[in-house]
Structure 1
């Protein structure tokens, strides 16, 4: 694919980095439309967007350094700051952003449940564009497959090519994630329409994404993301179990304590 969209002099602009920016803009637009309909603060939404841009970049980088290539960066720590060379993990972006949002909402004493529902509705938008960045970058690729559907990465600069999977038919896991994001977007809109308590959309997102990503992970072939028990389970799957458990807990708690 195309790991770098364009170059400014000798510095390349990573596709993943660019798509995070697109994801942030698209998600902010959707969030503002929902906020206006819900009577929520547009200023707070813009604050959350700014926080997301910063936290997602830091989180994506930190997870890459710590989980995927610690030895490489320990050998020469200055490499951590070479953002233009790529190296980002979407799960790290998500976790850092979510934690930063919670801190902000608590500090501003805003209704966490209501804003959580908004952020849950825009999460599929973010996931869609971030996974498009993964597709362009050639990372988060799938296992080799003998038949359709498959995708081949022939660009020597792609992550898949660098990890000895160049010109090999692979499961298009990035596209699986993108399709899943589109379906999830409409499912969560349906949940919002019929919700019974604030935070219900957020809980539904955690459960839906927890289950669907857990199964998509079985098709992934990039073992540097962290795999255990001879590849039987990945770091992402462990986190998705926690997501699902958190979603169930939120759903049960919300039904008892919250209301519209």
Structure 2
């Protein structure tokens, strides 16, 4: 039995202020990152760094995620829309964030913080990498709740009918009518892959388990960052096959190659290179937090 998506993207209202689930997912992601990162600091996984310094790193990382993610989304996916509506750049609560842009923002923030604390950039990135996936998972759940970035049609019973997607003759029908049509099975042909949940599972849960297990003992510099880049790139590239590309971009080549896959290829290459390069790099031994 397919599922009809009926989740309100607004969690609750406080007078004129509307709190979206998308924003709550970001807060959850940052909260889990703070909890996991604090544990790693107490374990001495980044020698000379205490909890206060890590708090600064997390703050800079939050700015990098939000600013880089939004700028990346606009530049990579919606540049034409920006020219028509410049204010869309600041309406983050409506959704529209790019992982690749957010990643660049986090790297810039980590570089700035590392420079201030006299640390090698990749010691910081290796420390941060295992605490990032939960935030990615929560973000994809936010995409699902907001009924955005859905997948291609599927004949499987796990498919989801998104009311704002292409429903043929029923496109734009009231939700009450869609409920009745769905109960009768008339909408099953329009059910889609819940690609947001696929990504939440792979980029969030699986990536977290792999990185947390891999980094449970000291690894050479670049190794943890390399595994993160490689696995994320592979997961994202694979899921793009069942995900609908952005309407204003479509497929870039071959009738299947998307912008998401294009942006993931450098991550796969970098991940493989960093894993190879790490074999000749020093291993940062844990120490008591400073």
Same fold flag (TM > 0.5): yes
| Matched position secondary structure for 2:11 | strand
2:261 — aligned with what? Answer: 237
Q: Distance in 2 between matches of 1:225 and 1:193?
A: 43
Q: Distance in 2 between matches of 1:193 and 1:80?
A: 39
Q: Distance in 2 between matches of 1:35 and 1:225?
A: 44
Q: Distance in 2 between matches of 1:206 and 1:111?
A: 18
| Matched position secondary structure for 2:18 | strand
Q: Deviations over 1:199-224 (max 9, x none)?
A: 31111111111112110111111424
Give the TM-score normalised by structure 2.
0.78
Q: Are the equivalent residues in 2 in contact too, given 1:149–1:171 (CA < 8 A)?
A: yes
- Cα 1:9/1:70, change in 2 over 3 Å: farther
- Cα 1:84/1:254, change in 2 over 3 Å: closer
Q: Distance in 2 between matches of 1:27 and 1:175?
A: 20
Q: Distance in 2 between matches of 1:113 and 1:87?
A: 28
Unaligned regions of 5+ residues in structure 1, if any? Answer: none
| Matched position secondary structure for 1:229 | coil
Which of 243, 249, 252 in structure 2 is aligned with 1:228?
252
Report how many aligned residue pairs link the two structures. 255
Which of 193, 196, 221 in structure 2 is aligned with 1:174?
196
Whether 1:109 aligns to 2:126 is no
Q: Are the equivalent residues in 1 in contact too, given 2:143–2:149 (CA < 8 A)?
A: yes
Q: Distance in 1 between matches of 2:213 and 2:158?
A: 30
Using the TM superposition, give the Cα deviation of residue 176 of structure 1 relative to its aligned residue in structure 2, in angstroms: 0.8
Unaligned regions of 5+ residues in structure 2, if any? Answer: 1-6, 174-186, 285-290
1:202 — aligned with what? Answer: 225
Q: Distance in 1 between matches of 2:120 and 2:69?
A: 27
| Matched position secondary structure for 2:43 | helix
Give the TM-score normalised by structure 1.
0.86
Q: Deviations over 1:63-97 (max 9, x none)?
A: 33233333333123234333344433343223322
1:1-260 to 2 correspondences below 5 Å: 1-40=7-46, 41=49, 42-154=51-163, 160=165, 168-180=190-202, 181-224=204-247, 226=249, 227-229=251-253, 231-260=255-284
